[in-house]
A and B are shown apart, each in its own frame.
Chain A
Amino acid sequence: MTHLTALAQLLDRLSATVGKYVSWLALAMVLVQFLLVLARYVFGIGIIALQESVIYSFALLFMAGAADTLRRDGHVRIDILYEKLSEKGQAAINLLGSLFLLIPVCLVILILSWPYVAGSWQIMEGSRESAGLPILFLLKSLLLVFPIAMILQGLATILRAIDVFRRREGTS
């Protein structure tokens, strides 16, 4: 095992661990929303903070779960040509795509979101509702977490692609 694959594995494990914990938020959403339904339809109570917690779970679910989804190749591809390519061809697509599409896009999101999130932290932005959760700045910070996590997982994809090329050269 080279240093490259070791690093790729480390990055994969990071995404996988985050994904494993974050995925349980899907169940949390179901249960909390169900309790809210009971509260509203039976006792006529609306609990704003709890309703907002469902939205927080939802945003976390896909913003923090996107990297693990990338690791499992769960983001839709148009694979008419891709599936016919050799292992090396697919590695080339993933290498170029991560380098010129994924990472630049995430860098743009990261750079543009920085002042947006910083502004939110400066005023410790909370919910617009007085009974809502006072931690909106934390939710908005996901705009930084998402691109960073995706760049790290993109890096893992690149390392694996390089490894494919190397192995090919080694055997031929």
Chain B
Amino acid sequence: MILAEGLATGLFAVTILSLMAGFPVAFTLAGTALFMGGLGWMLGVFDPSLLGAIPSRIFGGAMWNETLLAVPLFVFMGIMLEKSRVAEELLDSMGLLFGSLRGGLGISVFIVGALLAASTGIVGAAVVTMGLMSLPTMLKRGYDPRLAAGSVCAAGTLGQIIPPSIVLILLGEQISNAYMAAQSLKGNWSPEPVSVGDLFAGALIPGLCLVGLYILYQVIMAVFKPESSPALLREEVTGSVQSLPLMLLRSLLPPVILIIAVLGSILMGIATPTEAAAVGAVGAILLAALKSDEGSKLPVYAAGIGIPLLLLLANGTDLTRIAVDGIGPEALLAFVLIAVILAGLVIGLRRLLRRGILGEVCQSTMEMTAMVFVILIGATIFSLVFRGLGGDEMVYRLLSDLPGGRFGALLVVMIVIFVLGFFLDFVEITFVVVPIVAPVLLLMDISPIWLGIMIALNLQTSFLTPPFGFALFYLRGVAPPEITTGVIYRGVAPFVLLQLLALALLALFPALATWLPAVLNGTRY
């Protein structure tokens, strides 16, 4: 027993050390686990037949996983949207709107960050775009470089917490499994399942609170340290004032429509995340095709208008009986609309194909999907060995023996995730740490949604924490030379504190996360 648990602890330590060497994470996780398992087998404390579950786990957990099917679709949508330059147009018009205020450029970065988060949710893209566009303007206007760099990083990471986000999908799946496991241990064999949609709903208010905190910080800085965030001079606000409303409309309309359609339909429980993501991806294709400046825009616009019209028509009339009733005028209209949509889509796709954009987007989608799911495979093998060595029972005892009961256990888990977040990224933490700790916490009657959002907020923070915060890397890659790594590190420090403040608020007021899912979906936890 002691030997096995020694090996389980050793496994965790050896894995962390090996990861530091820099070989791809997925294989390091699985490889060190298999070596420790082999050692345990030789010492007679590990039953190798447990590994026989590997193929069925990979098949059932990764390949045939209808929840995680949404991941590549959302990735495709995000990358395609990046090509449609929505971010650039939003930054331009928001800069115009707020630029003449003190701290206005900073505020515009946070608002654009939130809008991008709700439509694409790809952190790298948001940080890079804002780092290329907003950061130079802010520096030129005399913004404190630390404040400017920190704002761009923090605004970029909003994509992780504001739904729809990849983190929330992966977490939702893990929390749902953990909740099922915890409930069946308690003798409840038919618990109410937790869905990804519940987590999306739960994350919305905490995400918006975070945006509020960021903006509040920027306002306070502008009031008490005016030299840190000066206003643009009037003549620098480019473009005539008359054209501003039109510009705002042009830049805001596409992302706002996408947000309402995709996020709205998931939150209202009309569509599954997979279905909503597919519609969103088609919307992103049409938007990108519009920007390709080639040929007539009419067919693409027609397709874009056709989709909501068709769904409205389907909502207003009953087309499900055409096989029985024959084709009436409504059905005819529906077929015409479908033809228009498909024609516009094909024309748009051809343009993107010719410009090489379509191939790039597909390639990036494949790479990101393979990266995530190969880590899932590696983490599956790691978890099998860790459990086989009795690691999960050890964690259970450790967490239940802590002083302070539920609160103590939750606090320790949050600290562990925060610290791991300095070195690991969200995919590994979600796939390795969450399945180990979440069932234990959920056994203590902690709300699964609240726990999920706490973890999500914590993981989002890991994007900002040096030295391995992804947002910092992305910004470093595109920032002008005077923005050194040191400036970025010091710049994000206040935002990391704001993150911790938001976590503390959420810990004190669980209703921030649990209220909206209860109202929308009637969840009772």
Contact = CB atoms under 8 A, between A and B. Distances in A.
Contacts of B334: 42
A61 B369 contact: yes
A101 B467 contact: no
B24 A66 contact: no
B73 A30 contact: yes
Given A68-B366, A69-B366, A41 B311 contact: yes
Contacts of B51: 108, 112
B69 A77 contact: no
Given A34-B278, A37-B279, A42-B319, A22 B63 contact: no
Residue among A69, A76, A80, A108 having the largest count of chain B Cβ atoms under 10 Å: A76
A23 B365 contact: yes
A81 B59 contact: no
Interface string A18-38: 011011111101110110111
A2 to B, nearest CB: 25
Contact of A58 (B58, B69, B275, B341): B69
Given A23-B363, A81-B20, A33 B31 contact: no
A139 interface: yes
B481 interface: no
Please list the 10 inter-chain residue pairs (A to B) with the smallest Cβ-Cβ separation, ordered nearest first: A82-B22, A97-B23, A101-B31, A44-B320, A33-B278, A75-B24, A59-B63, A116-B55, A26-B365, A23-B366
Given A55-B69, A80-B468, A105-B378, A97 B27 contact: yes
Contacts of A93: 21-23
A65 B72 CA distance: 13
Given A27-B362, A116-B55, 16 more contacts: A20-B363, A27-B358, A30-B281, A33-B274, A36-B278, A41-B314, A44-B320, A59-B62, A69-B374, A74-B368, A74-B371, A75-B375, A76-B24, A80-B22, A82-B22, A97-B31
B377 to A, nearest CB: 8
A136 to B, nearest CB: 9
A29 B322 CA distance: 27
Contact count band on A: 35 or more
Contacts of A70: 24
B22 A62 contact: no
Interface in B1-53: 18-28, 30-32, 34, 51-52
B367 A29 contact: no
23 contacts: A23-B359, A23-B362, A26-B76, A26-B362, A27-B349, A27-B362, A30-B285, A33-B277, A58-B369, A59-B62, A61-B365, A62-B374, A72-B367, A74-B370, A75-B374, A75-B375, A76-B26, A82-B21, A101-B31, A101-B32, A102-B23, A105-B381, A113-B54
Contact of B56 (A65, A79, A116): A116
Question: Looking at chain B's contact residues, is the secondary structure mostly helix, strand, loop, or mixed?
Answer: helix
Contacts of A81: 20-22
Interface of A: 19-20, 22-27, 29-31, 33-34, 36-38, 40-45, 54-55, 58-59, 61-63, 65-66, 68-70, 72, 74-83, 85, 90, 93-94, 96-97, 100-102, 104-105, 108-109, 112-113, 116-117, 139-140, 142-143
B256 interface: no
A169 B467 CA distance: 34
A23 B364 CA distance: 8
A14 to B, nearest CB: 16
Interface residues of B, number: 77
A151 to B, nearest CB: 11
Interface of B: 18-28, 30-32, 34, 51-52, 54-56, 58-59, 62-64, 66, 69, 72-73, 76, 271, 274-275, 277-279, 281-282, 285, 310-311, 313-314, 319-320, 322, 334, 338, 341, 345, 349, 358-359, 361-363, 365-375, 377-378, 381, 423-425, 427-428, 467-468
Contacts of A27: 76, 349, 358, 362
B59 A140 contact: yes
A44 to B, nearest CB: 3
A101 B362 contact: no
A53 to B, nearest CB: 12
Contacts of A139: 63-64
B278 A77 contact: no
Nearest to A44: B320
